[in-house]
């Protein structure tokens, strides 16, 4: 029993000692309980031995010893007074106080922890965070964090402890517990001040453990540069002056001035004239100078223009030079005309081409005369000289009041052109001079012809004019009367005095320069006006004529009847022999077609009939062969000159037999034609006989 | 006495006659030369008695007008050897007995 009591007492001791209890109470009760427990322990140990009695122990009888004494455990504070009486002034008597505070505080400790979520707690945490950021190194931050964590844990522990304690003393001691918590909170608030001084102290352990970082902006590298200006040019000068120097200088100056005055007085007019002359010369000199640069540029500009043209018409130039129509081999004697450059000039668009002539010296230069075949309307005329090197603009331009009917180059002086006009004038243009006016012009006084001048030819500076009136005039006053109006004529190539004249009526007269009044022979050639007559360049006897009666006829001047007749089904404007072959000639008809014949190959048909001008209502008027290149130029009513290249079939030379030498030259050509003619003649001769 | 009077007259005459500005040597451009000559004449007439002031005036005006730095010598008898910038020298006589030399050299 005493053991049980001892156990109970131990429980009693340990229970309150678990929670917080006031020190005094705890201390006191602990002592007594300890004593009791040691006694109990001793008693148990000494049971075997004789009971050890303390001197002041109550002596009890055995019966009293065996008596059971009940002890009850209550939560009441044994120290607390139980019968407090208070005087109530209301009832005027003493009253017993019912409720007594049973809380016995065994232990109290003032803590310095505050809850994290309270205002002060938040403030402190922010402050500590700032301080943590200030410290650059991590370890102090970590340690501070750890310290914070520890604080928090402690706070949490104390809070938990506070809660547990509160929980334990619930029921009767709730108010006391709450009061205690409130007291604790107040104590905690008071204890807040110690923590802030702790925060700066946290940095101390990290003071000697920080990392340095430095950086510097880039700077431009320095460079030295020096320069020096050129020294100003300077000269040395020295002199000495004395009074006599000054005097002498003045005297000299005065003398000079006097002389100058005298000169002025003595010859005023002469000087003035000289000055004027000088002024004029200066002007002219200036003009010349002014003009010179332009002329210098003109040459360069001309070359540039030609280059540009060559580039523009490059393919045509290539064709002109190198292209040979390969399909001619398959065409079996047929040929083609490949169109090359077109020459046209703005101002001549309304004029018809009336004459074409190649320059005998410069093989790429040709002259074109413009006028009008419409006898009702007659406008102005132009003579343009084109070169193959510049198809876009004529080299020389001459304009005249009257339409140009015919023109020709002088064979010995290739810079002279004789031009016949519609109004009967004949002019000679000199290409060497820069003026656009003719050098010589026949005027009314010198026997001008009233009708249009159809054709002229320059031979040895002689000009033969053939007029529409029916007279023929040469330079020596040679006059011939024809019955009809002359329309065309041609001089024999070799026999100087022999020439042919064609008339409007269709007759051809053979004349001689030496016989002024009579013609040698007449041919009844055509039914309509003879447009062109031309001697064969190789054969001495043959000439060709064409007319508006749609025919082209080839004659031997000894025989009255034509050798060959070709009907072209349209009025023939012009016919021309080729310069390289005696049997090739070309004709143009007013329907815009060009016909090329080669008697050697085909006596009856044209080798090539090709439409040259594309526009409707455009008649081709003239045709000319280039003496050197295998091209022909065709002029039409619209002022357009078309140049065409002859395909190889049209340019055939007679095939040489194997083993024989190739003979070239006029003899061969003549022989070729002679052979042909003989074929024609023999049957005729036979027929005649 | 008559002779001295005549001499004085002659002197006065020749001074009058010879008082026009006569350029002895110059390599300035036309405009510059004319301007400088007129300036010298003005200065010499203004400071007829004091060559130094006349020279000062000419030099300062030339510096302002044509850039530094100009040198001016005015006198009746002197010899000189100078280095001058090309096209910046004027050497002239004036007033019958004065010689003025103006040049630029920095």
Q: What is the pLDDT of residues A507-522, one digit of tens each?
A: 888 877 777 677 788 8
Instruction: Compute the average pLDDT of residues A199-205.
Output: 56
Which residue ranges make up each domain of chain B? 1-102
Chain B residues with CB-CB distance to A234 below 8 A: 83-86, 105
Instruction: Compute the average pLDDT of residues A52-75.
Output: 79
| Whether the Cβ atoms of residue A239 and residue B6 lie closer than 8 Å to each other | no
Q: How many residues does chain B have?
A: 106
Q: Is the model's pLDDT at A233 over the cut of 60?
A: yes
Q: Is the model's pLDDT at A450 over the cut of 60?
A: no
| Whether the Cβ atoms of residue A527 and residue A558 lie closer than 8 Å to each other | no
Q: Is the model's pLDDT at A29 over the cut of 70?
A: no
Indicate the pLDDT class of residue A458, thresholds 50, 70 and 90.
Answer: very low
The residues that bridge with A641 in the sheet, in sequence order, are A343, A635
Indicate the pLDDT class of residue A615, thresholds 50, 70 and 90.
Answer: low
Instruction: Find the CB nearest B86 among A233, A246, A249.
Output: A233
For A493, the enclosing helix (H) or strand (E) is none
- Per residue in A282-339, pLDDT (tens digit) is 544 444 455 566 777 888 888 888 888 888 888 888 888 777 777 777 766 677 788 8
- Per residue in A112-129, pLDDT (tens digit) is 888 888 888 888 888 888
* pLDDT at site A447: 32
Instruction: Find the CB nearest B86 among A234, A238, A243.
Output: A234
Q: CB B84 to CB A237 under 8 A?
A: yes
Alpha-carbon gap, residue A542 to A192, rounded angstroms: 147
| Whether the Cβ atoms of residue A588 and residue A621 lie closer than 8 Å to each other | yes
- Per residue in A478-495, pLDDT (tens digit) is 455 555 566 777 777 777
User: DSSP states of A284-351 as a string?
Assistant: HHHHHHHHHHHHHHHHHHHHHHHHHHHHHTHHHHHHHHH---TTHHHHTT---EEEEEEE--GGGTTS
Task: Tell me the percentage of chain A whose pLDDT exceeds 70.
Answer: 63
* pLDDT at site A273: 58
- pTM for the predicted model, two decimal places: 0.47
Residue bearing the bigger pLDDT, A214 or A102: A214
| Whether the Cβ atoms of residue A597 and residue A586 lie closer than 8 Å to each other | yes
Lowest average pLDDT, out of A196-205, A210-219, A388-397, A422-431, goes to: A196-205
Chain A's closest residue to B102, CA to CA, is: A237
Q: CB A247 to CB B25 under 8 A?
A: no
B1-102, superfamily in CATH?
A: Protein Inhibitor Of Neuronal Nitric Oxide Synthase; (3.30.740.10)
Instruction: Find the CB nearest A239 among B22, B27, B80.
Output: B80
- In this structure, what are the phi and psi dihedrals at residue A72, rounded to the nearest 5 degrees? -110, 145
Instruction: Compute the average pLDDT of residues A470-474.
Output: 51
- Per residue in B9-67, pLDDT (tens digit) is 666 665 666 678 899 999 999 999 999 999 999 999 999 899 999 999 999 999 999 98
Specify the pairing of strand B78-85 against strand A234-241.
antiparallel
A331-461+484-652+667-680, superfamily in CATH?
A: YVTN repeat-like/Quinoprotein amine dehydrogenase (2.130.10.10)
Residues of A in CB contact (< 8 Å) with B are 232-243, 245-247, 249-251, 253-254
What one-character DSSP code corresponds to residue A376? Answer: S
The 3-state DSSP class for residue A392 equals coil
Q: Is the model's pLDDT at A217 over the cut of 70?
A: yes
Indicate the pLDDT class of residue A470, thresholds 50, 70 and 90.
Answer: very low
Chain A's closest residue to B23, CA to CA, is: A249
Q: Is the model's pLDDT at B84 over the cut of 60?
A: yes
Instruction: Find the CB nearest B77 among A242, A250, A253.
Output: A242
For A241, the enclosing helix (H) or strand (E) is strand A234-241
Alpha-carbon gap, residue A583 to B95, rounded angstroms: 104
Testing the interface with B: which of A229, A233, A235, A242 to mutate, by most B Cβ within 10 A? A235
Crossing angle of helices A243-266 and B2-17, in 10° steps, is 70
- Per residue in A344-374, pLDDT (tens digit) is 888 888 888 888 888 888 888 888 888 877 7
A605-624 CB burial, b ≥16 within 10 A, e <16: ebbbbbebbeeeebbbbbbb
């Amino acid at each position: 029993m005493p053991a049980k009591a001892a156990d109970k007492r131990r429980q009693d001791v340990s229970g309150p000692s678990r929670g917080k209890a006031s020190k005094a109470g705890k201390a006191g009760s602990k002592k007594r309980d300890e004593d009791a427990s040691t006694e109990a322990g001793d008693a148990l140990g000494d049971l075997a031995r004789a009971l050890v009695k303390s001197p002041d122990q109550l002596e009890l009888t055995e019966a009293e010893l065996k008596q059971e004494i009940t002890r009850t455990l209550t939560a009441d504070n044994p120290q607390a007074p139980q019968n407090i009486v208070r005087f109530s002034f209301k009832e005027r008597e003493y009253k017993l106080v019912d409720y007594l505070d049973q809380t016995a505080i065994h232990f109290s400790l003032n803590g310095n922890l505050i809850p994290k979520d309270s205002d002060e707690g938040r403030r402190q945490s922010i402050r500590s965070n700032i301080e943590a950021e200030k410290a650059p190194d991590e370890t102090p931050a970590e340690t501070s964090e750890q310290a914070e964590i520890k604080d928090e844990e402690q706070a949490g522990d104390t809070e938990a402890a506070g809660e547990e304690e509160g929980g334990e003393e619930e029921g009767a001691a709730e108010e006391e517990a709450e009061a205690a918590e409130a007291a604790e909170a107040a104590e905690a608030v008071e204890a807040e001040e110690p923590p802030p001084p702790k925060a700066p102290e946290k940095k101390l352990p990290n003071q000697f453990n920080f990392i340095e970082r430095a950086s510097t902006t880039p700077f431009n590298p320095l460079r030295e540069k020096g320069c020096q200006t050129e020294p100003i040019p300077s000269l040395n000068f020295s002199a000495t002056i004395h009074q006599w120097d000054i005097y002498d200088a003045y005297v000299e100056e005065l003398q000079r001035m006097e002389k100058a005055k005298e000169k002025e007085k003595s010859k005023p007019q002469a000087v003035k004239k000289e000055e004027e002359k000088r002024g004029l010369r200066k002007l002219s000199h200036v003009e010349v100078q002014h003009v010179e640069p332009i002329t210098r540029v003109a040459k360069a500009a001309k070359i540039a223009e030609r280059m540009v043209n060559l580039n523009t018409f490059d393919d045509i130039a290539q064709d002109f030079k190198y292209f040979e129509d390969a399909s001619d081999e398959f065409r079996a004697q047929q040929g083609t005309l490949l169109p090359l450059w077109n020459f046209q000039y703005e101002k001549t668009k309304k004029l018809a081409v009336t004459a074409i002539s190649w320059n005998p010296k410069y093989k790429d230069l040709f002259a074109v005369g413009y006028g009008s075949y419409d006898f009702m309307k007659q406008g102005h005329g132009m003579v343009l000289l084109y070169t193959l090197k510049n198809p876009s603009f004529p080299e020389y331009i001459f304009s005249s009041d009257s339409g140009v009917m015919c023109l020709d180059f002088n064979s010995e002086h290739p810079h002279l052109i004789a031009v016949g006009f519609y109004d009967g004038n004949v002019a000679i243009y000199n290409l060497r001079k820069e003026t656009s006016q003719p050098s010589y012009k026949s005027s009314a006084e010198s026997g001008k012809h009233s009708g249009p001048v159809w054709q002229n030819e320059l031979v040895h500076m002689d000009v033969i004019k053939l007029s529409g009136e029916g007279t023929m005039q040469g330079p020596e006053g040679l006059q011939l009367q024809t019955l009809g109006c002359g329309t065309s004529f041609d001089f024999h190539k070799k026999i100087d005095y022999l020439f042919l004249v064609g008339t409007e009526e269709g007759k051809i007269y053979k004349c001689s320069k030496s016989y002024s009044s009579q013609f040698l022979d007449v041919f009844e050639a055509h039914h309509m006006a003879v447009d062109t007559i031309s001697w064969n360049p190789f054969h001495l006897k043959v000439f060709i004529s064409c007319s508006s009666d749609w025919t082209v006829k080839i004659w031997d001047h000894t025989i009255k009847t034509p050798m060959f007749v070709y009907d072209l089904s349209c009025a023939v404007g012009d016919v021309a022999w080729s310069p390289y072959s005696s049997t090739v000639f070309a004709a143009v008809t007013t329907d815009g077609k060009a016909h090329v014949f080669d008697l050697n190959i085909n006596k009856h048909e044209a080798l090539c009939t090709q439409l040259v001008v594309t526009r409707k209502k455009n008649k081709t008027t003239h045709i000319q062969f280039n003496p050197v290149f295998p091209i022909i130029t065709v002029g039409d009513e619209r002022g357009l000159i078309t140049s065409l290249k002859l395909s190889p079939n049209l340019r055939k030379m007679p095939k040489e037999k194997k083993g024989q030498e190739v003979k070239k030259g006029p003899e061969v050509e003549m022989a070729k034609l002679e052979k042909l003619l003989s074929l024609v003649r023999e049957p005729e001769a036979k027929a005649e006989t | 006495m008559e002779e001295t009077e005549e001499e004085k007259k002659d002197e006065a005459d020749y001074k009058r006659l010879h008082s026009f500005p006569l350029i002895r040597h110059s390599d300035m451009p036309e405009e510059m030369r004319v301007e400088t000559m007129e300036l010298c004449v003005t200065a010499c007439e203004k400071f007829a008695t004091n060559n130094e002031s006349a020279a000062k005036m000419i030099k300062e005006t030339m510096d302002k007008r044509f850039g530094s730095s100009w040198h001016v010598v005015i006198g009746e008898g002197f010899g000189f050897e100078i280095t001058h910038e090309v096209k910046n020298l004027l050497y002239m006589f004036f007033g019958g007995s004065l010689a003025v030399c103006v040049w630029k050299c920095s």
